[in-house]
């Protein structure tokens, strides 16, 4: 297959069911359609994502979002040249639904198929949205993942550091639950923080006293929990301003840590590559305005380009999967009917796992 190709991307790794159609040629991709069906309402009353509910919803909606994406692109399946599907990491039920759906369509239409690492989709998004060419430093901050990666190519990444416990996205969700704010926690905490005073509560900046660019946010969440409990004990409950001040204090600590660790990662990447690379951020937490502003300032201070994809491409979507799939296919990657969904799938294969492993493999 040569020249321009039409790629159908499928994403179902967590709680968004998504499909997209891209036109790809010579490493460049143009989005023809992108449809995302959120499951937020299904999980709202549980205070978090219920894997079984998510898996069933994906199975019900994959054909729906595919039809919508094809319709928006004014195409049908006969116009598709390649299917790219998220094969991990993520909730195994969602991964199975997506991979099974992709296999059925690929087999029926005799189409090539590529299984895509969800994290690679995020890491390669700056090429889709801004035409950023490798190498660059990527701060991938999505859900349960947060890593500093040198992106060398679509299938080659070097991890410089990341979170050793809770990722920022997990910490935001847990803080929201502690304070009685709705899920997903990121937008709720960010909104509450807008009317808060960061100086009211002294929250820690974990690992800033240690070299390197690894991060930790579990202790920060615990410190906030203790402050909350002290307020409840002293005054019999939490007031709206208390919540806002706690959110602002928490967010200010997260921003300070991520900015300083990004500064260190840029220096380390510069040493590895011989020159300071552009800085990019992607993933759901990259939609946070305070974090984006702080990273932009770090890039300015270091004299490098800063790229933050549009918000629609920061959260989970299938356009990034289609783009990554097209790049991998162009490099000779292709999967058969033995493709399996993987709950764990480290992106930087030569770097030691940050979070350990088990029978299912390394977590990240």
pTM above 0.75, yes or no: yes
Is the pLDDT at 98 greater than 80, yes or no?
A: yes
pLDDT digits (tens, 9 = 90+) for 150-176: 999 999 999 999 999 988 999 999 999
Is the pLDDT at 333 greater than 70, yes or no?
A: yes
Q: Three-state DSSP class for 20? A: strand
Q: Give the C-alpha separation, 272 to 123, whole Å.
A: 19
Q: What is the CATH number of domain 5-124+316-330?
A: 3.30.420.40
Percentage of the chain modeled with pLDDT above 70: 95
Is the pLDDT at 359 greater than 90, yes or no?
A: no
pLDDT digits (tens, 9 = 90+) for 87-97: 999 999 999 99
Backbone φ/ψ region at 237: left (φ over 0), alpha (ψ -120 to 50), beta: left
Q: Three-state DSSP class for 181? A: coil
Given a contact cutoff of 8 angstroms between Cβ atoms, the answer to whether 188 and 178 are in contact is no
Q: Give the C-alpha separation, 301 to 269, whole Å.
A: 16
Q: Three-state DSSP class for 214? A: coil
Averaged over 111-136, what is the pLDDT? 96
In the chain, domain spans:
5-124+316-330, 134-304
Burial 91-107 (b: 16+ CB within 10 A, else e): bbbbbbbbbebbbebbe
Average pLDDT, the chain: 92
Is the pLDDT at 83 greater than 60, yes or no?
A: yes
Given a contact cutoff of 8 angstroms between Cβ atoms, the answer to whether 22 and 319 are in contact is yes
Residue 349's pLDDT is 62
Residue 348's pLDDT is 75
Residue for token digits 């930790």?
216
Residue for token digits 């307020």?
231
Which runs of E-coded beta strand occur in the chain? 5-11, 16-25, 28-38, 82-88, 113-117, 136-142, 145-153, 156-162, 279-282, 306-307
Residue 45's pLDDT is 82
Residue 360's pLDDT is 43
Backbone φ/ψ region at 248: left (φ over 0), alpha (ψ -120 to 50), beta: alpha
Is the pLDDT at 350 greater than 70, yes or no?
A: no
Identical fold for domains 5-124+316-330 and 134-304, yes or no, is yes
Which runs of E-coded beta strand occur in 208-282? 279-282
Q: Give the C-alpha separation, 12 to 274, whole Å.
A: 38
User: Strands 145-153, 136-142: parallel, antiparallel or unpaired by DSSP?
Assistant: antiparallel
Residue, of 79 and 350, whose pLDDT is higher: 79
Averaged over 311-319, what is the pLDDT? 93
Residue 351's pLDDT is 53
pLDDT digits (tens, 9 = 90+) for 243-287: 999 999 999 999 999 999 999 999 999 999 999 999 999 988 888
Query: What is the number of H-type helices and E-type strands within the chain?
Result: 12, 10
* Positive or negative torsion for Cα 163, 156, 30, 23: negative
Q: Three-state DSSP class for 278? A: coil
pLDDT digits (tens, 9 = 90+) for 36-46: 999 888 888 88
What does each C-alpha distance from 188 to 17, 95, 203, 243, 292 come to in angstroms? 22, 27, 19, 11, 17
**What architecture does CATH give domain 134-304?**
2-Layer Sandwich (3.30)
């Amino acid at each position: 297959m040569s020249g321009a190709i039409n790629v159908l991307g499928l994403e179902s790794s967590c709680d968004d069911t998504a499909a997209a159609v891209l036109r790809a040629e010579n490493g460049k991709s143009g989005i023809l359609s992108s449809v995302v069906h959120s499951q937020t309402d299904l999980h709202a009353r549980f205070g978090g994502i219920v894997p079984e509910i998510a898996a069933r919803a994906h199975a019900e909606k994959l054909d729906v979002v595919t039809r919508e994406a094809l319709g928006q692109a004014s195409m049908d399946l006969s116009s598709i040249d390649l299917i790219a599907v998220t094969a991990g990491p993520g909730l195994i039920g969602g991964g199975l639904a997506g991979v099974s759906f992709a296999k059925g369509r690929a087999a029926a239409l005799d189409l090539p198929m590529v299984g895509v690492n969800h994290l690679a989709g995020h890491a390669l998004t700056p090429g889709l949205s801004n035409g950023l060419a490798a190498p660059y430093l990527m701060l991938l901050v999505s859900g349960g993942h947060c890593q500093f990666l040198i992106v060398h190519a679509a299938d080659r990444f070097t991890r410089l550091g990341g979170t050793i416990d809770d990722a920022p996205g997990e910490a935001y969700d847990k803080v929201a639950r502690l304070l009685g704010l709705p899920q997903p926690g990121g937008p709720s905490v960010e909104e509450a923080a807008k009317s808060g005073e960061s100086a009211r509560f002294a929250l820690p900046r974990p690992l800033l006293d240690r070299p390197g660019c690894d991060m930790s946010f579990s202790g920060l969440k615990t410190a906030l929990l203790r402050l909350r409990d002290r307020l409840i004990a002293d005054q019999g409950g939490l007031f709206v301003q208390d919540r806002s001040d706690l959110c602002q204090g928490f967010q200010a600590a997260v921003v300070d840590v991520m900015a300083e660790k990004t500064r260190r990662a840029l220096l380390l990447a510069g040493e590895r590559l011989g020159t300071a690379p552009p800085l990019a951020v992607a993933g759901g937490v990259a939609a946070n305005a305070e974090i984006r502003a702080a990273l932009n300032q770090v890039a300015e201070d270091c004299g490098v380009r800063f790229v933050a994809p549009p918000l629609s491409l920061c959260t989970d979507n299938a356009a990034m999967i289609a783009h990554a799939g097209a790049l991998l296919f162009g490099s000779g990657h292709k999967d058969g009917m033995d493709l399996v969904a993987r709950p764990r799938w480290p992106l930087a294969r030569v770097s030691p796992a940050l979070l350990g492993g088990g029978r299912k493999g390394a977590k990240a």
